[in-house]
Structure 1
Amino acid sequence: MIKAIFFDVDGTLLSRNGRVSKSTKKAIASAQKNGVLCGVSTGRGPRSLRRIIKDLNLDMFVTYNGQLVYDDHQVIYSHPFEEAVIDEIVNYANNNSRQLLLGSAKQVEGSLTMRIGESSFVRRVIRFVPKKFPIRTVKLGLQKFSPNRRKERYSKLAILNEPIYQCMMFGAEYENEKLKKALPNCDFQRSNPYTVDLVPKGGSKVQGIKQFLAYKGMAFEEAMAFGDHLNDIEMLKVVGIGVAMGNAQEGTKESADFVTDSHQHQGIEKALRHFKVID
């Protein structure tokens, strides 16, 4: 029996217009009425989420790719970076003129370019960027001509006095191995081809979900998850029922127990009805 459902946000819970559809809102409310806990499992942080899902009465929040988990009452799991690892990341960004964002429980600070990129509008648009987009050229251009380019740019940010749960860096998929060698104390998660989320070693959405389920005395088999991107694969594999959206990447679909319709066509509602979570 399914007791908890975790939804990815971008490309899953949100439609292309950056909003939760009426169909999805109704389906989630129906599941909750049936006693099922519903929440998110996302790479986004708390500040970003508040703007997006303010009209959903969710039960739990697995944020920053599993590094910060909470409900309306308390923090359930907190896994920030060690200070030495943050120093490594900041030094790498400074020395290589990298665009960088740092996320705490209350705020996000860093690159203005990336803060703009984190907006709901840009996140919607980026899904339509062609695969042949010259990401390498754009990255080099930002490194060379950024108006905020200066030595030790990120070293004096006020946010460094707070626990940091996730860093977001501008970097294309072809740089994966390079980044792993440069930052061996991090794990890397991607929700798009152009930026990468850095989390503490061993951190993942699965770890966050595991902590929440343990807190509630539930097993993975009693959980259901929805996702669309590669950073959702592990989550879809480990829960009792993993559902890929119809708009999901092929690798994500192959890893799921069930492929539903897209986020544009009542995919969440249809899957919940298929598995009789709602009537």
Structure 2
Amino acid sequence: MIKAIFFDVDGTLLASNGKVLKSTKKAIMQAQKNGVLCGISTGRGPNSLKKIVKDLNLDMFVTYNGQLVYTKEKVIYAQAFEKSVINDIVTFANNHSRQLVFGGKTRTEGSLTMRIGESSFVRQMIRFIPSRFPIRRMKLILQKYSPNKRKNRYSNLAILQEPIYQCMMLGAEYEHEKLQAALPNCDFQRSNPFAVDIVPKGGSKVKGIQFFLADQGILLEETMAFGDYLNDIEMLQAVGLGVAMGNGDLKTKKSANYVTDSHDRNGIEKALQHFDVIDK
């Protein structure tokens, strides 16, 4: 029996217009009436979720790829970076003129380019960029003309005096090994081809989910999760029922127990009906 459901946000909970479908809202409400806890598991932070979830009475929030987990009543798990690791990330960004954003508990601060990229609209548009898009050239242009070329651009940001749960950096998939070598005390999650989420070593959506479930006395096999991209694969494989969206990445689909329709074609409602979580 399913007791908790976790939804990724971009490409899953949100349709391509950046909004939650009426069918999705209705399905979540029906699941909750049936005693199922419903919440989010996302790379986003709390601040960027406010408008998205205002019409959804969600039960739990696994944010920053599992680094900050909370309900309306309490914080269940919070794993911030060690100061020394933040210093390593800042040094790397300054030395390589990288666009970088720091995610705190109530706000984000850093590159304006990256903060604009965090918007739902831009996140959705990114998914329509052709696979042959010249990512290397784009990165070099941004590095050349970026205000980040100012010395120690990020070192004196006020947010660095607060706990930082995740950093978001402009960086293509081909740079994965380079980032691993430069920042060995970090893990890297990716929700699109052009930017990477940097979290403390060992951090993941699954770890955040496990802390929530332990607090609630729910087993992993009693959970269900929906996702569409690479940073959802581990989550879909770990839960009792992993559902990939029809619009999802091919690798993500292969990792799931079930592939539903797209985020624009009532995919969430259809999957919940298919598994008898809600009535048809």
Q: Which category describes the TM-score, using the shorter chain as reference length?
A: over 0.9
Matched with 2:3 is: 3
Please state whether the residue corresponding to 1:246 is helix, strand or coil.
coil
Structure 2 CA distance, aligned partners of 1:40 and 1:149?
A: 36
Structure 1 CA distance, aligned partners of 2:54 and 2:82?
A: 31
Please state whether the residue corresponding to 2:27 is helix, strand or coil.
helix
Please state whether the residue corresponding to 2:18 is helix, strand or coil.
coil
Per-residue CA deviation, residues 71-129 of structure 1 (Å, 9 max, x unaligned), is: 00010000010000000000110011111000000100000111111112211111101
* TM-score in terms of structure 1 length: 0.99
**Paired AA for residue 162 in structure 1:** E
Matched with 1:154 is: 154
- Equivalent residue runs for 1:1-279 within 5 Å: 1-279=1-279
Q: Contact 2:98–2:148 (CA<8 Å) still a contact in 1?
A: no
**Paired AA for residue 271 in structure 1:** A
**Paired AA for residue 105 in structure 1:** K
Structure 2 CA distance, aligned partners of 1:124 and 1:192?
A: 10
Please state whether the residue corresponding to 1:206 is helix, strand or coil.
helix
Matched pairs, number: 279
Name stretches of at least 5 consecutive residues in structure 1 with no aligned partner. Answer: none
**Paired AA for residue 262 in structure 1:** S
Please state whether the residue corresponding to 1:77 is helix, strand or coil.
strand
Structure 2 CA distance, aligned partners of 1:62 and 1:206?
A: 9
Please state whether the residue corresponding to 2:149 is helix, strand or coil.
coil
Structure 1 CA distance, aligned partners of 2:82 and 2:258?
A: 38
Q: Contact 2:99–2:148 (CA<8 Å) still a contact in 1?
A: no
* Greater mean deviation of Cα atoms: 34-43 or 48-57: 48-57
Per-residue CA deviation, residues 241-273 of structure 1 (Å, 9 max, x unaligned), is: 000011111111111111110101110000000
* Greater mean deviation of Cα atoms: 33-42 or 129-138: 129-138
Per-residue CA deviation, residues 176-217 of structure 1 (Å, 9 max, x unaligned), is: 100100000000000000000000000000000000000001
Structure 2 CA distance, aligned partners of 1:73 and 1:64?
A: 19
* Greater mean deviation of Cα atoms: 145-154 or 223-232: 145-154
| 4+ residue runs over 3 A deviation | none
**Paired AA for residue 22 in structure 2:** K
Shift of 1:148: 4.7
Q: Contact 2:246–2:267 (CA<8 Å) still a contact in 1?
A: yes
Please state whether the residue corresponding to 2:163 is helix, strand or coil.
coil
Q: Contact 2:97–2:148 (CA<8 Å) still a contact in 1?
A: no
Name stretches of at least 5 consecutive residues in structure 2 with no aligned partner. Answer: none
Structure 2 CA distance, aligned partners of 1:25 and 1:83?
A: 40
Q: Contact 2:225–2:239 (CA<8 Å) still a contact in 1?
A: yes
* TM-score in terms of structure 2 length: 0.99
Shift of 1:149: 2.7
Please state whether the residue corresponding to 1:69 is helix, strand or coil.
strand
**Paired AA for residue 12 in structure 1:** T
Structure 2 CA distance, aligned partners of 1:276 and 1:146?
A: 51
Q: Contact 2:94–2:148 (CA<8 Å) still a contact in 1?
A: no
Identity rate, percent: 72
Structure 2 CA distance, aligned partners of 1:267 and 1:66?
A: 24
Per-residue CA deviation, residues 139-159 of structure 1 (Å, 9 max, x unaligned), is: 111111114530000000000
Please state whether the residue corresponding to 1:168 is helix, strand or coil.
strand
Structure 2 CA distance, aligned partners of 1:54 and 1:89?
A: 33
